[in-house]
Structure 1
Amino acid sequence: MLLFPNLPGSSSMVPIDFGKKLSQRGVFSVKSAYAALANENDHAVNINHAINWKNLWKLKVQDRLKMLLWKISPNLLPTKALISTVLNLEPDLIKCPLCNTEQESLHHLFFNCIFSKVVWRQSKWPIDISSFATQPMDVWTNIILSPSKNLNVPEEEIQEFQNFAIIAMDNLWLHRNKVDHKQAEPSIQSYVTSVSRSYTQHCKAWAAKNIQMGINEVRYPVGSHLLTFDVAIRKEGSILASICWKDNGEVLFAIIDLINKVNSNLGEASAALMAIKEAARLKLENIIVGGDSDVTIQAISNTSYIQELNLSPVINDIRHHLNSFKLMERQSSRKFSPNSRFKM
């Protein structure tokens, strides 16, 4: 497990002897430590050093959307094309479930699929999204991070553009999952409507005077710390990621870990536990546990909600560590209004 010691208030959780290899000054960063973990375990996560990850975490979008963008650049989303590198799938099973015309890769979904083309044509910024299909995914990530420099987006529209770009990808991935799991039929109109609705909600939320960076776009109590967590499942194992935000929006610590492959629910819970253990070690008093995993969030506050037996030990461990905090809240990042505290 790696903890990034260049962040304020953090310290190493395990002895690390390759700091000087990461920078001339021996200073760690989220990018360099993550790259070291990838090399250490010899797996296929592609870290692009051209991306300014610091700017990604500073984006004025929901933390869940930041995590999505973090997954997209190194190709961590389990598209059919990526899965086919592990499993021997028939050609028809690799096709995009939305348009059924090409192999489903991130480039196809976000640049060449008719769903993406239509939503961008109807947007405030009617760009030809397919023009980016031949570029590495990190090029598009950098465009989102600096749209004024790359697309001449006016300064006053930068945040709107960034929200729209990531929301369009987020809703497309959600619609794709529903179609792939036979929960919905492919519908461009439904997708465009969902993007418009989500984008409008985000813009209204950010327009409020009391908004500060965070999962549900509300100001956090002074002295509180927001713990966010996520998991990326790869063929080599599951990559856990946890970040602790101070009430002023600064990062207190960021941790990653590579564990044996587990399902998404167990991975999310394990990432949450990793963050909570570190917060307890640092003796933080007031925390907010936030994430887009309703299973983990609900299970923390209600033991009867635990739906998978293998989750019980992790959730029980989380609840045990939470006893050391004075104030606790849990928030789901897919919703704008939840602010329900849970009592231990």
Structure 2
Amino acid sequence: MNNFSYIKANDLPTAFGHVRLGDAAKYIAGGTNLIDLMKYNLTKASSLVDINHLVGNHDIEELPDGGLRLGAFVRNAATAYHPLVEERYPLLSRAILAGASAQIRNMATNGGNLLQRTRCYYFYDANTPCNKREPGSGCSAILGYNRIMAILGTSESCIAVFPSDMCVALAALDAVVNISGEDGERSLAFADFHRLPGDTPELDNNLKPGEIITSIDIPQKGFARNYSYLKLRDRNSYAFALVSVATGLELENGLIKDARIALGGVAHKPWRVKEAEDFLKEKEPSAENFAQAAEIILFGAKVFEYNSFKVELAKRAIVRNCMMALNPESQLPGAQPSA
């Protein structure tokens, strides 16, 4: 690892100033991804600006409209086990607890979770071409071992996937990301925060240089009665998703009044298709209807040599997870799924 200086910022202007003036200065909070990137020489930082001591954004609090504000510097574990999250947004709690390890969840921050880099084999291998590391060098995954790679929203420049579990749930919940920068404060709908690779795969999100995530707002509707998070992976612990599904359903008189389905492990960002969710409205919550929604969601999927299995895996995962959402108790250890 290269040498770097450490700076503690106690307020936003100080943090902005150091990153603006510093040569390759980086913000650090939990550091669970950044330090890995530095160890692999994938990210070089002349200085690390510690933003853990910024005033505010360290709490979880109710909003006047009935929603919840998640401070960006709250640790993932504290968020997952917070009474209001467990009670009103159990989908988010389950998704967070499906990610990483207990030790990492104790260190990782909510804001940092949104900023994770891909776990693509070739991105982490500095000896191979990668457009995310070196724009214009090529994508080794397209003709390489691409088993874990994306099947939706890909481009000729990149087929990497976004690894977060928490973000899949936030996408389903229609979260909003609050951001501060030298130009002031702004908010982005969660769907607009992350980017598809296109011709600029090196850009993972729509943050401007020097901006900091300060909090994440989730609306009042939390789908606390009918929800499920399903993560399919090669091993049951400390592994990234091959396919994950976050589902929230609102049921009334035996019909679906609202539906949210977000996928992870299949694209460069959490994947939602509103057309599929609209299709389910006013329909019975049946495996047949969920299967048709799955077909809509996976329409246009592009497979590569080693990941064609993901299409059928994702379709079955959607159906299974939607059926599990009808009975959230089916997610308890040892319980059998509804379908």
TM-score (norm 1): 0.28
Relative to its length, the structure with more strand (as a share) is: 2
Higher helix proportion (structure 1 or 2): 1
